[in-house]
Amino acid sequence: MEQAPRLNLSERVIRALGLALLVFGGFFPLVWMLLTSLKTEGELQQFPVQYLPSQPDVANYARVFSEQPFGTFFMNSLIVSVLSTLLCVAVAVPAAYALARLEIRARGLLLTLVVAFSMLPVVSLLVPLFRLMRSAQLLNSYPALILPYAALSLPVAILTLVAFFSAIPRDLESAAMVDGSTRVGAMTRIVLPLSLPGVVTAALLVFVNSWNEFLLALSFNTRLNMRTVSVGVTLYQGEFAFPWPLISAAVVIAVVPIVVLIAVFQKRFVAGLTAGGVKA
């Protein structure tokens, strides 16, 4: 098991303080939005700041849904993120299997290209992608976001999966093939089940990327009923007014899926991100 660190008292105090700071630093901004969302506009306009809401009020959460079709935004985000995740993983798994397992002469070159694709700046692709989507008559549709989200996350998914596939002993596959299984049979029956954790990790990374994307969603799906939550949260601000309790409530709702995924799959996320130096 874990080493028992022989820390003296001052080291323990420093570590405890550090951990407290880490947890506080990670959670505070979101906790502050949660507290803000329970306050009234009048309560916010006090200085010094009143830290806890005097009468916690969930009215802002109702207003989030009544002032904008936030339920629709949420569903749009869910649909787009789930479908782009499915598409991306479905394309990435065979590609990563080929790169990790088959004898391909251009393997090094292909992996280099995958890395290069992962570094393309999205903002530079904005106009040509916009035109592409327009000429395909896909603006204000789910595929307008699903296709680029799947493509943009594909390099990360492939690199993560290659790392996971490569860690599975080749002998397992060879044994199955000696026993008369075909290469494809060995892949689907032996390698895929063993690499399920890797597939889950890759899927989580794609989902988070898709849920969080802002620029393409802002530019491609401009009809109100096609907006996603990352754009939706910015729609509550007027030109000069920022109704912070309302914005805070929208922010809290928008990050619920992310927070739930992180809490449930924290080990998988850490494993995925530390596996091969994958891009955030």
Partner 1 sequence: MRTEAGNVRTAPAPRARRRRGGDGLLAALLLAPAVLLLCGVLLFPMLTTFRDSLFVNKLTEPWAGTPFVGLAQYAQMVGDPRFLTALRNTLFFGVLTVGGSFLVGIPMALLAHTPSRVRGLARVALLLPWAMPPVITGLIFAWLFNGQYGVVNDVLVRAGIVGEPLRWLSTPGLAVVAMVVTIVWKTSSFVALIVLGGLQGIPRELTEAADVDGATRVQTFWRVILPLLAPSLAVAFIFRAISAVQVFDIPYTFIQQAPAQGLLETLGVYIYRTSIEFLDFGYAATLSVALFAVSLAVTLVYVRFVRGGEG
Q: Which of residues 155-184 bind partner 1 (CB under 8 A)?
A: 155, 158, 170-171, 174, 183-184
Beta-carbon contacts of residue 30 (< 8 Å; ≥ 6 apart)? 252, 255, 259
Minimal distance, residue 187 CB to partner 1, in Å: 9
Site for partner 1 in 126-155 (CB under 8 A): 126-129, 131-132, 147-148, 150-152, 154-155
Q: Distance between the two ends of the chain, CA-based, in angstroms?
A: 30
The radius of gyration of the chain's CA atoms, rounded to the nearest angstrom, is: 23
Site for partner 1 in 27-56 (CB under 8 A): 27, 29-30, 32-33, 36, 44-49
C-alpha 69/C-alpha 24 separation (Å) is: 33
212 near partner 1, judged by CB under 8 A: yes
Token pair in block for residue 104: 């391909």
Minimal distance, residue 247 CB to partner 1, in Å: 6
192 near partner 1, judged by CB under 8 A: no
22 near partner 1, judged by CB under 8 A: yes
C-alpha 262/C-alpha 204 separation (Å) is: 9
196 near partner 1, judged by CB under 8 A: no
Site for partner 1 in 218-237 (CB under 8 A): 219, 230-231, 233-234, 237
Name the nearest CA neighbour of 206 among 275, 152, 276. 152
Minimal distance, residue 60 CB to partner 1, in Å: 14
Site for partner 1 in 250-279 (CB under 8 A): 251, 254-255, 258-259, 261-263, 266-267, 269-270, 273-275, 277, 279
- Strand, coil or helix: 45: coil
Beta-carbon contacts of residue 256 (< 8 Å; ≥ 6 apart)? none
Beta-carbon contacts of residue 45 (< 8 Å; ≥ 6 apart)? none
Of the two residues 139 and 255, which places its CB atom closer to partner 1 in the complex?
255
Which residue from 104, 167, 224, 256 is in contact with partner 1, where contact means CB under 8 A?
A: 104
Token pair in block for residue 129: 């992608």
